[in-house]
Structure 1
Amino acid sequence: MADAPFENMLAQMDRAKEYADVDDGIFERLKHPERTLKVTLPVELESGDVEVFEGYRCQFNSARGPFKGGVRFHPSVTQREVEALAGWMTWKTALVDLPYGGAKGGVICEPKELTDRDLERLTRRYTEGIRRMIGPETDVPAPDMNTNPQTMAWMMDTYSMYEGHTVPQVVTGKPLEIGGTPGRVEATGRGVSIVTGRLFEYLDRDLTDATVAIQGFGNVGSNAAKLLDEAGARIVATSDVTGAAYDPDGLDVDALDAHVAAGGLIDEYVAGTLRDVPTGDGDRNDDRDRSRWDAPEMLSNDELLTLDVDVLIPAAVEGVITEANVHDLRASAVVEAANGPTTVAADKVLSGRDVQVVPDILANAGGVIVSYLEWVQNAQEFSWPLETVNAELERRIGTAFDQTIEQYDEKDLPDLRTAAYTLALERTASAHEYRGLFP
Structure 2
Amino acid sequence: MINEQTVEKPKPVKKGMLDNVLEQFDHAADQIELNPNVRKILRITNTEIIINFPVRMDNGDVEIFTGYRVQHNNALGPYKGGLRFHPTVDINAARALAMWMTWKTSLAGLPYGGAKGGIQIDPSKYSSSELERITRRFTYALGENIGPEHDIPAPDVNTNAQTMAWIADTYMSTKSTSERSKNMHVVTGKPVGSGGLEGRDRATGFGVFLTIKFWAEKNKVNLNGKKFIVQGFGNVGYWSAHFLENEGAKMVGVQDAFGSIQNNDGIKVEDLFNYSKSNSGSIVDFPEASAMDGSDFFGIDCDICIPAALGNQITPKNANSIKATLIAEGANGPTDVEGEKILLERGITIIPDIMCNSGGVIGSYFEWLQNRNGELWQLDEILEKIEKKLRTTFNKVTDYADDKKVDLRTAAFALAIERIEKAYILRGIFP
TM-score band by shorter chain is over 0.9
**1:420 matched to 2:391:** no
Native 8 Å contact 1:245 1:266 kept in 2: no
**1:299 matched to 2:316:** no
Other-structure match for 1:369: 362
Quote the Cα distance in structure 2 between the aligned partners of 1:407 and 1:418: 9
Displacement of 1:265 in angstroms is 4.8
Cα deviations by residue, 1:290-333 (Å, 9 ceiling, x for unpaired)? xxxxx411123331211121111001100011112211211111
Displacement of 1:252 in angstroms is 1.5
Partner SS, residue 238 of structure 1: strand
**Which of 404, 407, 429 pairs up with 1:411?**
404
Quote the Cα distance in structure 2 between the aligned partners of 1:296 and 1:421: 39
Displacement of 1:3 in angstroms is 6.7
Gaps of 5+ in 1: 274-294
Cα deviations by residue, 1:158-215 (Å, 9 ceiling, x for unpaired)? 1101112232110000011111010101110110011111111122211111110101
Other-structure match for 1:176: 192
Quote the Cα distance in structure 2 between the aligned partners of 1:212 and 1:65: 37
Other-structure match for 1:220: 236
Using a 3 Å threshold, how does the CA distance of structure 1 residues 111 and 56 change in structure 2: closer, same or farther? same
Cα deviations by residue, 1:71-130 (Å, 9 ceiling, x for unpaired)? 000011111001100000000001111000000011011100111110011001110111
Question: Partner amino acid for 1:302?
Answer: S
Over the aligned positions, Cα root-mean-square deviation in angstroms equals 1.3
Native 8 Å contact 1:244 1:266 kept in 2: no
**1:230 matched to 2:246:** yes
**1:136 matched to 2:148:** yes
Displacement of 1:395 in angstroms is 0.5
Using a 3 Å threshold, how does the CA distance of structure 1 residues 186 and 297 change in structure 2: closer, same or farther? same
Other-structure match for 2:7: none
Other-structure match for 1:286: none
Other-structure match for 1:62: 74
**1:101 matched to 2:101:** no
Other-structure match for 1:202: 218
Native 8 Å contact 2:261 2:284 kept in 1: no
The residue correspondences of 1:33-52 to structure 2 (distance < 5 A) are 33-52=45-64
**1:383 matched to 2:376:** yes
Native 8 Å contact 2:272 2:283 kept in 1: no
Quote the Cα distance in structure 1 between the aligned partners of 2:72 and 2:305: 30
**1:24 matched to 2:16:** no
Mean CA deviation greater in 22-31 or 384-393 = 22-31
Quote the Cα distance in structure 1 between the aligned partners of 2:414 and 2:123: 37
**1:392 matched to 2:376:** no
Other-structure match for 1:292: none
Question: Partner amino acid for 2:49?
Answer: L
Cα deviations by residue, 1:351-372 (Å, 9 ceiling, x for unpaired)? 1111100000000001000000
**1:251 matched to 2:244:** no
Question: Partner amino acid for 1:432?
Answer: Y
Native 8 Å contact 1:242 1:265 kept in 2: no
Quote the Cα distance in structure 2 between the aligned partners of 1:256 and 1:341: 23
**Which of 355, 361, 364 pairs up with 2:348?**
355
**1:188 matched to 2:204:** yes
Question: Partner amino acid for 1:375?
Answer: W
Partner SS, residue 250 of structure 1: coil
Displacement of 1:48 in angstroms is 0.9
**1:9 matched to 2:25:** no
Other-structure match for 1:430: 422
Native 8 Å contact 1:43 1:51 kept in 2: yes
Quote the Cα distance in structure 2 between the aligned partners of 1:59 and 1:264: 34
**1:79 matched to 2:91:** yes
Displacement of 1:269 in angstroms is 3.9
Quote the Cα distance in structure 2 between the aligned partners of 1:301 and 1:316: 14
Other-structure match for 1:310: 303
Question: Partner amino acid for 2:78?
Answer: P
**Which of 323, 339, 345 pairs up with 1:330?**
323
Using a 3 Å threshold, how does the CA distance of structure 1 residues 420 and 326 change in structure 2: closer, same or farther? same
Report percent identity of matched pairs. Answer: 40
Partner SS, residue 132 of structure 1: helix
The residue correspondences of 1:151-166 to structure 2 (distance < 5 A) are 151-164=163-176, 165-166=180-181
Native 8 Å contact 1:2 1:78 kept in 2: no
Displacement of 1:21 in angstroms is 4.4
Using a 3 Å threshold, how does the CA distance of structure 1 residues 263 and 174 change in structure 2: closer, same or farther? farther
Quote the Cα distance in structure 1 between the aligned partners of 2:364 and 2:14: 29
Other-structure match for 1:284: none
Native 8 Å contact 2:276 2:283 kept in 1: no
Quote the Cα distance in structure 2 between the aligned partners of 1:154 and 1:126: 11
Cα deviations by residue, 1:236-293 (Å, 9 ceiling, x for unpaired)? 11121222221111101111111123344545442xx2xxxxxxxxxxxxxxxxxxxx
Displacement of 1:2 in angstroms is 9.1
Q: Which TM-score applies when normalising by structure 1? A: 0.92
Native 8 Å contact 1:61 1:102 kept in 2: yes
Q: How many residues are aligned here?
A: 415
Question: Partner amino acid for 2:65?
Answer: F
Partner SS, residue 32 of structure 2: coil
Question: Partner amino acid for 2:312?
Answer: G
Native 8 Å contact 2:231 2:254 kept in 1: yes
Native 8 Å contact 1:234 1:250 kept in 2: yes
Quote the Cα distance in structure 1 between the aligned partners of 2:187 and 2:25: 29
Native 8 Å contact 1:156 1:170 kept in 2: yes
Native 8 Å contact 1:41 1:54 kept in 2: yes
Quote the Cα distance in structure 2 between the aligned partners of 1:49 and 1:33: 36
Native 8 Å contact 1:173 1:180 kept in 2: yes
Native 8 Å contact 1:3 1:80 kept in 2: no
Partner SS, residue 332 of structure 2: coil
